[in-house]
Amino acid sequence: MIRNPALRDVPLGIQQKYIVVTCNYVARDQGVTKLMTVAAAKEKCPQLVLVKGEDLTHYREMSYKLTELLMSYCPLVERLGFDENFMDITKMVERRLAETPESHNFSFQGHVYNRLSADVKASDHPSLALGSHIAAELRDAIHSQLGLTGCAGVATNKLLAKLVSGAFKPNQQTSLLPEDVGAIVGGLSGLRKVPGVGHQTAKRLQALGLVSVKDLQLFPLNALGKEFGGPSARRLRNLSLGIDDSAVVPSGAPQSLSDEDSFRKISTAKHVSEKIQELLVSLVQRMHKDGRQPQTFRLTLRRYSATNKWFSRESRQCPMPNHVGQKVASDGADEAVVQLVPLAMKLFHRMVDCSAAFHLTLINVCFSNLRTGGAAVGGKGSITSFFTHSASQSQDASSDHQSSARGVMTRCTPPQKAVSTEPPRRSGAELHGWSRTQRPAVAVKKPPLQMESGSTTSSHPKITPMHRLPPDVDPEVFRLLPEELQEELSSPAYANSRPGLSTSSPAVVCVPDITTNGSPRSVRESQNIDKGAEAKSRTAVTRRPEGSSAFLGEDVTEGGRTSFPRPSDGEFPGDVDPTVFSELPLDVQRELMSGWRQQKAALKTPSSRKPGRRSSVGKDRKTAGKGAQANNLLKYFKP
């Protein structure tokens, strides 16, 4: 971590290979951006100071310290890369709610998306308001105990918490009120900005003619289902509407440890084994510190090829010989490496035919299927696992939510992204954070601090028959709907859908990531050029959960045709709620559309069937809920 104050006002960047993976605000002001080549960066900013960042050790350790610190407040912490954490602070909020005197006057901490904090009455959103206090406390603890600064977002689900966390960039927090959900998702500049929509998915959506969030919101679910299958289609649509019923799943200790390196070229077996050995030396060390014993070993590589050089990695794995695994876990590091190199070469030869020329640009070695300690009874030894908290814990937690009182549960997640482009501003704190933040990682411990809690939320008003709400329906959203729609949704016809969970909850508080500011690796995409956030777009859009039988069914058709009425941004009246519109019968949609049609075509929206993509439809198998899933204990954190 860079903590030299002398560097505070100097343009600084973290370099990995020939790329500037991230940089401070001083550098950004000079035009340096993330993932810019070193050459380009120096051209923009000749005085740019670069620090090597290939070794992720420090980032990783700091990253785990952060996660552990958060867990000391509440165990429901889910990591997203090295610099983001989601936290479900429902319980904390509930406790505080119970302890908060009825008349107690309080306000939101930090910003409130799209409004002037002063205009918002905390008493109208007690759970979120308390969540904002919790987020502020967490950020403060992170700053005082780890020296890191970062952002946080407080909302009713993970998606929203993540989206809102970056509204005010350097080292600030933002809360999102349910009534502004439509504004925040609608303000996203494109589908790629939707968490969960990556390059591939964006391409497929584009092939369907969808480019904006609104396009996706309005696209008929059954048509979307033909491309992605029912479950994915529903998920995508929900995301576009700001609906996310996924739980905050505690991450615990990592499920695998790997080390890799990229290079211009390696074309001889000898060079390959040398590189593998180098990687194994550090990996074995890390594995040893971890204490668990790997049961599987994997070798991955990337070959050079002029065409299609994009990803494409190939891998081969094999069971880890027991004695080798023990060496790693116990002590014989060097021994283990000696045994592993030839094993890795066997895997290598399963992929590369050395009798022909080859050209590798990356090699990765990975230990997975980690088994926690063994032999000895639990006693001592070894690496303790400190937080012995396992799958059962998370299970309880989640079931807890479900039953948690009426519905409201606040989930907190902290998305945060480090990074952030953002103008300069308070360089003091920010920079400080930057330095430490830049490379956080590693784990290790952190003592507990326990604190509070709160109490519930409320979804107050109209009591809605929660027990009848179909899954996938966000109660908070539900309650905003017109009564007739509420009734409709509560009817048996909507009761199907998946068993999953969540129905619940409304208010969720999410605290996004408190993390760092720009981290080199992980989180790559984070940088929203932010444009969306600021827009004070129009008011809220009430959404209506999907689930209407007509669209739910996989092939219900009727709309089986390839072209559906799909208003583009231009022709869609701004006062019409897209969600509601999309739920109308197709014929009605067409009718309305023809009435509105007038604007210029604009936007290319070839709703053509996509070319070569395969479409998996129908057979959405539900592989049962993945209940068990061995969630390892987090013994990762030592005392």
Sorted by sequence, the CB contacts under 8 Å of residue 106 that are 6+ apart come out as 100, 122, 123, 129, 133
Candidates 179, 488, 525, 569: give the one binding DNA (CB under 7 A): 525
Handedness of CA 220, 226, 231, 233 (dihedral sign): negative
Q: With binding defined as CB under 7 A, does residue 330 bind DNA?
A: no
- Distance between CA atoms of 578 and 559, rounded to whole angstroms? 18
Q: With binding defined as CB under 7 A, does residue 521 bind DNA?
A: yes
Minimum distance of DNA from residue 558's CB (angstroms): 26
Handedness of CA 7, 12, 18, 20 (dihedral sign): positive
Candidates 149, 238, 522, 589: give the one binding DNA (CB under 7 A): 522
Burial annotation 432-471 (CB, 10 A radius, 16+ → b, else e): bbbbbbbbbbbbbbbeeeeebbbbbbbbeeeebebebbbb
Q: With binding defined as CB under 7 A, does residue 144 bind DNA?
A: no
Q: How far is CA 251 from CA 87, 190, 232, 383, in A?
A: 11, 29, 23, 19
Q: Which amino acid, 356? A: A
Q: Please, which of residues 614-633 interact with DNA by CB under 7 A?
A: 616, 621, 623, 626, 629
Q: With binding defined as CB under 7 A, does residue 18 bind DNA?
A: yes
- Distance between CA atoms of 519 and 417, rounded to whole angstroms? 8
Q: Please, are residues 367 and 296 in contact by the beta-carbon 8 Å criterion?
A: yes
Closest CA to 607 of 573, 561, 569: 561
Q: Please, which of residues 283-302 interact with DNA by CB under 7 A?
A: 296
Helix axes of 230-241 and 221-228: crossing angle, nearest 10 degrees: 130
**Given the complex with DNA, which of 357 and 624 has the nearer CB atom?**
624
**Given the complex with DNA, which of 194 and 481 has the nearer CB atom?**
194
Q: Please, which of residues 240-259 interact with DNA by CB under 7 A?
A: 249, 251, 254-259
Minimum distance of DNA from residue 545's CB (angstroms): 21
Task: Name the catalytic one among 54, 61, 68, 84.
Answer: 84
Q: Please, which of residues 122-141 interact with DNA by CB under 7 A?
A: none
Candidates 144, 307, 312, 355: give the one binding DNA (CB under 7 A): 312
Stretch that binds DNA, among 14-22, 175-183, 472-480, 544-552 (CB under 7 A): 14-22
Closest CA to 48 of 81, 77, 26: 26
Q: With binding defined as CB under 7 A, does residue 201 bind DNA?
A: yes
- Distance between CA atoms of 28 and 44, rounded to whole angstroms? 10
Stretch that binds DNA, among 199-207, 445-453, 457-465, 557-565 (CB under 7 A): 199-207
- Alpha-helical regions (H) of 439-585: 475-480, 483-490, 549-552, 578-583
**Given the complex with DNA, which of 273 and 295 has the nearer CB atom?**
295
Sorted by sequence, the CB contacts under 8 Å of residue 568 that are 6+ apart come out as 215, 599, 601, 602, 603, 605
Q: With binding defined as CB under 7 A, does residue 52 bind DNA?
A: no
- Distance between CA atoms of 632 and 383, rounded to whole angstroms? 14
Burial annotation 288-313 (CB, 10 A radius, 16+ → b, else e): bebbbbbeebbbbbbeeeeeeeeeee
Candidates 231, 321, 424, 553: give the one binding DNA (CB under 7 A): 231
Q: With binding defined as CB under 7 A, does residue 313 bind DNA?
A: yes
Q: With binding defined as CB under 7 A, does residue 189 bind DNA?
A: no
Stretch that binds DNA, among 175-183, 359-367, 497-505, 565-573 (CB under 7 A): 359-367
Size of the residue set binding DNA (CB under 7 A): 62
Candidates 29, 43, 54, 591: give the one binding DNA (CB under 7 A): 54
Q: Please, are residues 148 and 499 in contact by the beta-carbon 8 Å criterion?
A: no
Q: With binding defined as CB under 7 A, does residue 318 bind DNA?
A: yes
Q: With binding defined as CB under 7 A, does residue 84 bind DNA?
A: yes
Q: With binding defined as CB under 7 A, does residue 308 bind DNA?
A: no
Q: With binding defined as CB under 7 A, does residue 553 bind DNA?
A: no
Q: With binding defined as CB under 7 A, does residue 196 bind DNA?
A: yes
Q: With binding defined as CB under 7 A, does residue 395 bind DNA?
A: no
**Given the complex with DNA, which of 109 and 339 has the nearer CB atom?**
339
Q: How far is CA 596 from CA 420, 508, 576, 592, 599, in A?
A: 39, 37, 11, 6, 8
Tell me how many helices (H) and strands (E) the chain has.
21, 14
Stretch that binds DNA, among 363-371, 477-485, 497-505, 578-586 (CB under 7 A): 363-371
**Given the complex with DNA, which of 317 and 326 has the nearer CB atom?**
317
Handedness of CA 217, 220, 222, 225 (dihedral sign): negative
Q: Please, which of residues 262-281 interact with DNA by CB under 7 A?
A: 262-264
Minimum distance of DNA from residue 493's CB (angstroms): 26
Minimum distance of DNA from residue 605's CB (angstroms): 20
**Given the complex with DNA, which of 142 and 253 has the nearer CB atom?**
253
- Distance between CA atoms of 197 and 184, rounded to whole angstroms? 16
Minimum distance of DNA from residue 330's CB (angstroms): 21
Minimum distance of DNA from residue 450's CB (angstroms): 26
Q: With binding defined as CB under 7 A, does residue 16 bind DNA?
A: yes
Q: With binding defined as CB under 7 A, does residue 467 bind DNA?
A: no
Q: Please, are residues 479 and 457 in contact by the beta-carbon 8 Å criterion?
A: no
Candidates 3, 199, 349, 538: give the one binding DNA (CB under 7 A): 199
Q: With binding defined as CB under 7 A, does residue 311 bind DNA?
A: yes
Q: Is 275 helix (H, G, I), strand (E, B) or coil?
A: helix
∠ Cα 109 112 117 (to 5°): 70
- Distance between CA atoms of 417 and 167, rounded to whole angstroms? 11
- Distance between CA atoms of 154 and 361, rounded to whole angstroms? 42
Q: How far is CA 140 from CA 69, 95, 233, 281, 510, in A?
A: 11, 20, 40, 38, 16
487 in catalytic set: no
Q: With binding defined as CB under 7 A, does residue 355 bind DNA?
A: no
Q: With binding defined as CB under 7 A, does residue 260 bind DNA?
A: yes
**Given the complex with DNA, which of 86 and 478 has the nearer CB atom?**
86
Binding site for DNA (CB under 7 A): 16-19, 21, 35, 54, 56, 60, 80-81, 84, 195-202, 231, 249, 251, 254-264, 296, 309-319, 350, 362, 364, 366, 369, 521-526, 616, 621, 623, 626, 629
Catalytic amino acids? Answer: 84
